[in-house]
Structure formats: C-alpha cells, structure tokens
C-alpha cells in the first residue's frame, strides 16, 4: 500500500510540474517537486526503499521529458541512495536543516544532469543558471513541501526523527 | 534474519534496476518511445486543466506590464503577414512548375513525388516539459488524429517546433528554443542559408552558415524564415529576427543570434502541418 501512495503522490506532483510549473520558470529554473519528494523519502522513509523510490519517480519524470531517457531515474536513484546512507549523520529537524539538505541534494543532482547534457552535446548556454535556479527554488520550498509530505507520513511509513 | 533477507532482496532489486536503466539505451530507439507515449496519455489529461488555468492566470497578471508590447505585436503581425504573402507566392510558383512538369512528363514511367501540405491538425497546448533543461509542449492531439513524429508545428504563420513523441491522444512538440532543435533557415533579405540551433532561451543561434569567402550580408533586424531544405518545414515560414551579428575575425563562421517570433509563454493553440507525399501527377 505504501508504494501505491508513493506512486500516487509522485504522479500528482508530476502533473503539477508539467501543468503549471512548466509555464513558470523564473530565474531560469523552477522547483523540482518530484526531486523534493525523493529527498523526503530518502531522509524520512525506510532506508532500503529509498533507491527504488528514487528510480521509480525519476523514471516517471523521464517519461514526461524530452531529454535522455533514464537520466533522471539514475540520478534520483543515486541521490536517494546517498541520502539514505548519510541521514544518520546529518541533522533532520528544523526548517533550516530542510533547506540545507534539499539544496545540497538538488545541486548534486542537477550538476550531474548538467554534466551529462554537456557530454551529450545538448548543453545550453543557460545551463549553470538552470542549475542554480532549481537549487534555490528547491531549497526555499523544502520546509513547506516537507510539511505537506508529513501529512502522508503514516501512509508513506515516514518517521520524523526526534531531536534529542 | 528475515529483515536481513528483505534488505538483501531490495538491494539486489536496486542494482538490477540501475543496470537495466543503463542498458536500456542498447535497445532500439523506437522501444524507448512506448513508455513516453503511455505517460503522455496518462498524465496529459490531469495536467491539462492545471496548465490552462495557470496560463490564463499568468496572462491576466502580466497584462498590466505588457503595455509596451502592443507596438511589438503590430510589428510581429506585419512580419507574419509579409511572410505569409511570400509563402503563398512561393507556393503558387511551385504549383505552376508542378503543373508544367505534369504536362511535359506525364508519360514517363518514373514518378516524381511531390510534397503536399494539407489537412492540418489543430492542437491545444496542455502541458510543458518535466525537464528544466528542455523546452517542449504537450498538445492535445495524437496518432488518433494522424499526427506522426517529425511533423512541423506552427502558430499562425510562425514556426514553433517539431513533433517528437506521439501518443494516442497527446503529443510532444519540441520547440525551436530547445537545445536539441535544429531546422534549416534562410535570411529573407540576402538568401543566405544556415541551421537554426536552440539555446534553451527565447533566442536561438544560426550556425553552420556556408563559407562564402566574402562578407555575409546579415544585419540586425533581418527576417529569418524556414528554407524548406530540411524537408520538415515548408519554405518561407517566419522564424525570427536577427538581434546580433558578429563576424569572427578570419573565421568562416559568424555569431548570429535570432529572437524567435513566437512568444512561447502565451501560445495556447497550434497547428500541426500534416505532410503527405503524393506520387500522383
């Protein structure tokens, strides 16, 4: 049942991204809601399921983009794997921690995507701007997005770690 | 023990998925299109009202700030009408020559195919691109309406892009600003041809201009139209205007920046030009 909710929320976020955020791309890049969801699942959900969740949501994003098929699947899976491995050593409470965690994870993911596009010969002149734009948007939206995702924490089996 | 076994299974599944994803590019390109087509149809319907509502709200909110664009709108309209006139004149000339060929060669056994554009398909823009690096639209027309990959898409008489992924009900249009977009264009005034490459922004760059070993007669403000030599767009469809031209010293290439005429943030409908190859004379 957990995977059903992961898929459903992922599809809703993807619809919002393709529907409204594609039309609003201020400062080069808008927020990546699907990546925010992947980061949330990696930090607060079952650690063993994080890579699979990242792959699933990344693949859905690939199906709705015109870039290299499988790129987001691999990158999201890698980001989810890394976050699930280091989450015991990082601070997960408070909004500031959400901003830092989401911002750094997004920067890593989009730097990898930008590097791939550069090697693939499809890099645009504004690629660094896109990377910075998405990173800033994700970092700023992370506290609000995580608050919404926590509403589904029981269905997603997400556990907020209490600060000691 | 049971928890360890479950963890091992999930790790094995993760590794398998990673290897499968990296290996998927060994498959034929056509195989990769099926999941995209399925998702286009699955997400296109719920995304459509969100996109349309957001586009309407964005247009409403930006209307007070676009007072200075009315002059530009008039200029763009004049440009598009001029291009339309040129295109129709070119079409008349082509049909006349086709008629002359038919009269002269209708008894020859070999047939010369002609490209005839007709029965165009209207599409409503219902979504964008999930990838922030790419530029494309999702339109509410698919293979059911006769859309195929590689068909030109226009907005009025201005070129927008080319269809890339086609589902049964929805399709994706890669617009001219996408970094992977390439179409053959011509400078209307001088007749010089080149390839228009997207840059990910509202301006594109004309590249691969043949070296004429002489000064290129290009100036800011020149109209850029499709040349038709790529077999995608018909000739003389308006594309944009030159905003910057820099001839590199002692090099054959030049930096030519083109402001695309289509305002991609305001496009709500488009026309897919259905290409039919007629072998009849």
Dihedral of CA B135/B140/B144/B145: which sign? negative
Helix or strand (DSSP H, E) at A57: helix A50-63
Give dist(CA B147, CA B240) in Å, integer: 25
Q: In this model, does residue A18 exceed pLDDT 90?
A: no
- The answer to whether residue B199 is domain-embedded is yes
pLDDT grade, residue B107 (50/70/90)? very low
Better-scored residue on pLDDT, A25 or A65:
A65
**Domain span at B232:** 182-260
Give dist(CA B239, CA B227) in Å, integer: 10
**DSSP assignment letter at B153:** E
Q: Is B74 exposed, middle or buried (0-12, 13-18, 19+ CB in 10 A)?
A: exposed
- The answer to whether residue B170 is domain-embedded is no
Q: Is B149 exposed, middle or buried (0-12, 13-18, 19+ CB in 10 A)?
A: middle
What's the mean pLDDT in A106-127?
80
Q: Give the domain CATH number at B247.
A: 2.40.10.350
Chain A, window 14-43: residues with a beta carbon less than 8 angstroms from a chain B beta carbon: 14-25, 29-30, 32, 34
**Closest C-alpha among B140, B111, B186, B116 to residue B48:** B140
pLDDT grade, residue B109 (50/70/90)? very low
The phi and psi torsions of A82 (rounded to 5 degrees) equal -65, -45
Give dist(CA A136, CA A143) in Å, integer: 13
The answer to whether the complex's ipTM is over 0.85 is no
> Which among B10, B43, B49 is the nearest to A14, CB-wise?
B43
Give the number of other CB atoms < 10 A from CB of residue A66: 24
Task: Give me the pLDDT at residue B73, please.
Answer: 66
Give dist(CA B7, CA A17) in Å, integer: 33
Q: Which residues of chain A neighbour B198 with C-beta distances below 8 Å?
A: 124
- The answer to whether residue A19 is domain-embedded is no
- The answer to whether residue B188 is domain-embedded is yes
- The answer to whether residue A134 is domain-embedded is yes
Task: Locate the chain A residue with the closest alpha carbon to B35.
Answer: A63
| Average pLDDT of chain B to the nearest whole number | 74
CB pair distance less than 8 Å for B21 and A73: yes
- The answer to whether residue B224 is domain-embedded is yes
How many structural domains comprise chain A?
1
> Which among A25, A77, A113 is the nearest to B18, CB-wise?
A77
Q: In this model, does residue B194 exceed pLDDT 80?
A: yes
CB pair distance less than 8 Å for A63 and B174: no
- The answer to whether residue A105 is domain-embedded is yes
Most confident of A120-124, B107-111, B196-200: B196-200
How many structural domains comprise chain B?
1
Better-scored residue on pLDDT, A91 or B10:
B10
**Domain span at A95:** 28-154
Give dist(CA B101, CA B106) in Å, integer: 8
């Amino acid at each position: 049942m957990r995977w059903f909710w992961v898929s459903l929320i992922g599809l809703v976020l993807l619809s919002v991204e393709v529907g409204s955020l594609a039309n609003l791309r201020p400062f080069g890049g808008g927020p990546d809601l699907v990546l925010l969801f992947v980061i949330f699942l990696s930090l607060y959900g079952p650690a063993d399921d994080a890579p699979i969740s990242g792959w699933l949501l990344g693949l859905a994003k690939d199906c709705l983009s015109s870039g290299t098929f499988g790129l987001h699947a691999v990158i999201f899976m890698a980001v989810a794997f890394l976050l699930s491995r280091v989450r015991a050593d990082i601070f997960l409470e408070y909004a500031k921690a959400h901003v830092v965690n989401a911002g750094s994870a997004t920067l890593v993911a989009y730097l990898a995507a930008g590097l791939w596009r550069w090697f693939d010969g499809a890099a645009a002149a504004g690629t660094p701007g896109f990377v910075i734009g998405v990173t800033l948007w994700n970092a700023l939206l992370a506290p609000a997005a995580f608050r919404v995702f926590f509403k589904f924490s029981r269905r997603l089996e997400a556990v907020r770690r209490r600060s000691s | 023990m049971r928890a360890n076994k479950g963890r091992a299974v999930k790790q094995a599944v993760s590794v398998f998925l990673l290897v499968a994803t990296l290996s998927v590019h060994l498959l034929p390109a056509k195989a990769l299109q099926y999941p995209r087509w399925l998702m286009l149809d699955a997400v296109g319907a719920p995304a459509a009202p969100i996109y349309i509502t957001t586009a309407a709200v964005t247009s409403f909110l930006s209307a007070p700030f676009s007072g200075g664009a009315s002059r530009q709108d008039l200029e763009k309209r004049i440009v598009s009408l001029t291009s339309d006139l040129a295109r129709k004149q070119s079409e008349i000339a082509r049909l006349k020559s086709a008629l002359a060929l038919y009269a002269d060669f209708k008894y020859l056994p070999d047939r010369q195919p002609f490209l005839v554009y007709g029965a165009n398909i209207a599409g409503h823009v219902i979504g964008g691109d999930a990838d922030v690096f790419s530029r494309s639209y999702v339109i509410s027309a698919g293979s059911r309406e006769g859309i195929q990959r590689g068909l030109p898409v226009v907005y009025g008489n201005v070129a927008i892009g080319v269809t890339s992924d086609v589902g049964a009900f929805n399709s994706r249009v890669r617009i001219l600003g996408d970094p992977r977009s390439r179409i053959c264009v011509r400078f209307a005034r001088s007749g010089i041809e080149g390839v228009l490459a997207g840059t990910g922004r509202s301006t594109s760059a004309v590249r691969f201009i043949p070296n004429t070993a002489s000064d290129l007669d290009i100036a800011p403000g020149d109209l850029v139209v499709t040349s038709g030599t790529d077999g995608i767009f018909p000739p003389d469809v308006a594309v944009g205007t030159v905003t910057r031209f820099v001839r590199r010293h002692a090099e054959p290439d030049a930096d030519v920046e083109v402001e695309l005429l289509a305002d991609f943030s305001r496009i709500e409908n488009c026309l897919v030009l259905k290409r039919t190859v007629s072998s009849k004379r």
